[in-house]
Amino acid sequence: MFFSTNITMAGVVVNGLESQLHPANLSTSVAGLFQPAMYAFSSLLLLGACAVQTVFGRPEDLHARRGAEILKRDVDSFIQTQTLYSWDRLLCNIGASGCAASGAASGVVVASPSKSNPDYWYTWTRDSALVFKGIVEAFTHSYNTTLQTQIQNFFAAQAKLQGVSNPSGNLATGAGLGEPKFNVDLSQFTGDWGRPQRDGPPLRAIALMGYARWLLSNGYAATARDVVWPVIKNDLAYTAQYWNQTGFDLWEEVQGSSFFTITSSHRALVEGTALAAQLGTTCTGCAAVAPNVLCFANRFWNSNSNYVVSNINGGSYRNGRDANSILASIHNFDPTVGCDANTFQPCSDKALANHKSTVDSFRSIYTVNNGRTQGQAVAIGRYSEDVYYNGNPWYLATLAAAEQLYDAIIVWKQQGSITVNSLSLPFFRDLVPSVSTGTYGSSSSTYTSIINAVQTYADGFMSIVDARKGPGGALPEQFDRNTGAPIAAPHLTWSYSAFLTAAARRAGKVPPSWSASTGNTISSCGNLAVAGTYTSATKTTFPASLTPNPSATTAPVPTPTGGCSDVLVTFNEKVTTQWGQTIKLVGNHPSLGSWNPSNGILLSSSAYTSSNPLWSTTIALPAGASIQYKYVNVQEDGSVVWEKDPNHTFTVPATCDVVVRSDNWQS
């Protein structure tokens, strides 16, 4: 499949590509995948060469203006060729037929073909979900059978993976869904690792919900509901149950609470609520839990220094400035909510202030950034204290910094105005020194100056990746902080995905809304978590010919009519326990284990103190049900001690409010 060649494309000679990129020389299926990108970016190149925008809001130095024009043309050319190469290499890393994924199961994303120094011959739930989030988005923009097959293979692999018992747990309690990585044949990885990592389930749900929404919009509601939803449902149940428990961050180093994980959890719960309603089913606890998650996400904001502290409840040796927060912003981008700050939209004042603070934290620590002043793009790493491989810039982090700015430009153009306030002013003044606070309409010279300056700034990050890429366009994990040479894991799948989403935003392609407008209000600030029920998906094959159906209409999300069929009930039990003991809830309803302690609901001791020995859980029960229940103490050796008679009894009221049952151990 790969060979060295020189090609001429739109008048530009490109040397050393590893594949012939013209659609005529590709297979029919792959040509269909690349062709939209070919024509879109050929148009960009022609615009860059023949019709360069030279309108700036105020008279500026001619040299600087020409520099911006040259940069734009260079980035246009880079994107045109790199897009095709990145798709090629990304698909190579997906089993079983990928050219670099021999031995991987069908639908499995291999993090990198590297099997030593470093060994990335594994599949990570988070990385895979982010890669397929991008694939699904590309598929929804342009139907392609190659991508659809990959999406369906990915779904089948993840359905199987959910049922693989592992060191984090199993599917019965949901805990096993938090296992971060597996062997590429879908078997468990049993070595030491930072586990659990709680971003995998919500991100996988987000990726699969993207495909489910496409199925809905094309008239395949039954497939979305009967095939795809059961896998999504498991991941959403995990998110609603475990969101407020600590785990390891996306860099797999800090145990605590991660901004990226929390914002991903919020999005998944909001999006899951909307999708469930369209499918005529329910997302248990999602709507009730989501506002609590959003409230917690906003606690990561450092109002004294105006940036996100990306890890709290752990990682105190870091200053908190971390590409984690920029990734959170771009992966929760919803163009329908403008510059909303609560959901940390890319053009919000908080996200822009954080972008400046995070980018500036890398300006002076890398030799490759020498000479780059405020307002100029720099190479971005994970966080400034990083020591992994000596702590270098990462391609995906540098691309994320560009993508956030492209996202912002999309929304500013969409709404026809830009608002500068005291929080975002330092960001804007780095780029347009004369700007002051206020709202600038699209007819103003200041608006034009800002758009042009931010575009140039974003293109600067893309240009850095262009200058530091490997032979032919290879994107490994990192590039050396001193020499700029590509290093670490070669052909990192996430790096290629990060390039493709940044390029799509630059071209003005937006992701579908995830219903952020229904979940961007902080209405609850508690720790509500809902115990989930988990079931192995039994349907993993899709009907043939799931092709676009332009005449289909997507069912709107129903408006609540009052009353709830399932009621959230919080059970609080005060009982003094010893180390190694746990408390479970059992009762006469199937959701309570039908009096079988093995199937009972495990209570949380997160609020337990010696003066207030509280164990608690929240579950969904049907309105009107007559419930009998007891608590049991599970000893360290697995034996069970029941509390004394009588049974606790109550009838579940028909309410949408959380019902609280407060009990004391009956001894």
Active-site residues: which are they?
A: 249, 252
Specify whether the backbone of 484 is left (phi greater than 0), alpha (psi in -120 to 50) or beta: left
Q: Is 109 exposed, middle or buried (0-12, 13-18, 19+ CB in 10 A)?
A: buried
Residues 6+ apart with CB under 8 A from 269: 202, 236, 239, 240, 243, 283, 286, 287, 289, 290, 293, 519
HSE-up of residue 432 (Cα within 13 Å, Cβ side): 24
HSE-up of residue 205 (Cα within 13 Å, Cβ side): 34
Centre a 10 Å sphere on the Cβ of residue 620 and count the other Cβ atoms it contains: 21
Rounded CA gap, 314 and 247, in Å? 10
Give CA angle at 628 (622, 631), nearest 5°: 110
The answer to whether 124 is a known ligand-binding residue is no
Identify the residue whose tokens are 């929404």: 213
Rounded CA gap, 17 and 21, in Å? 8
Rounded CA gap, 248 and 198, in Å? 7
Rounded CA gap, 402 and 457, in Å? 8
Q: Are 343 and 332 in contact (CB under 8 A)?
A: yes
Cis peptide bond upstream of 548, omega within 30: no
Rounded CA gap, 143 and 256, in Å? 40
Question: What are residue 438's DSSP bridge partners?
Answer: 420
Cis peptide bond upstream of 646, omega within 30: yes
Indicate the angle between helix axes 28-50 and 145-162, nearest 10 degrees: 120
> What type of residue is 358?
T
Rounded CA gap, 619 and 659, in Å? 10
Rounded CA gap, 410 and 545, in Å? 34
Q: Are 475 and 489 in contact (CB under 8 A)?
A: no
60 alpha-carbon distance from chain centroid: 40
Which of 290, 276, 272, 284 is CA-nearest to residue 174? 284
> Using CA of residue 508, residue 54, residue 413, residue 309, what is the dihedral sign?
positive
Coil, strand or helix at 243? coil
Coil, strand or helix at 194? coil
| Tokens standing for residue 17 | 């590509």
Coil, strand or helix at 587? strand
Q: Are 508 and 455 in contact (CB under 8 A)?
A: no
Centre a 10 Å sphere on the Cβ of residue 537 and count the other Cβ atoms it contains: 21
459 DSSP assignment: H
Specify whether the backbone of 219 is left (phi greater than 0), alpha (psi in -120 to 50) or beta: left
b/e per residue 305-317 (b: at least 16 CB within 10 A):
ebbbbbbbebbee
Beta strands, E only, 450-563 = 478-479, 486-487
Residue stretches of the annotated binding site for substrate: 193
Residue stretches of the annotated binding site: 193
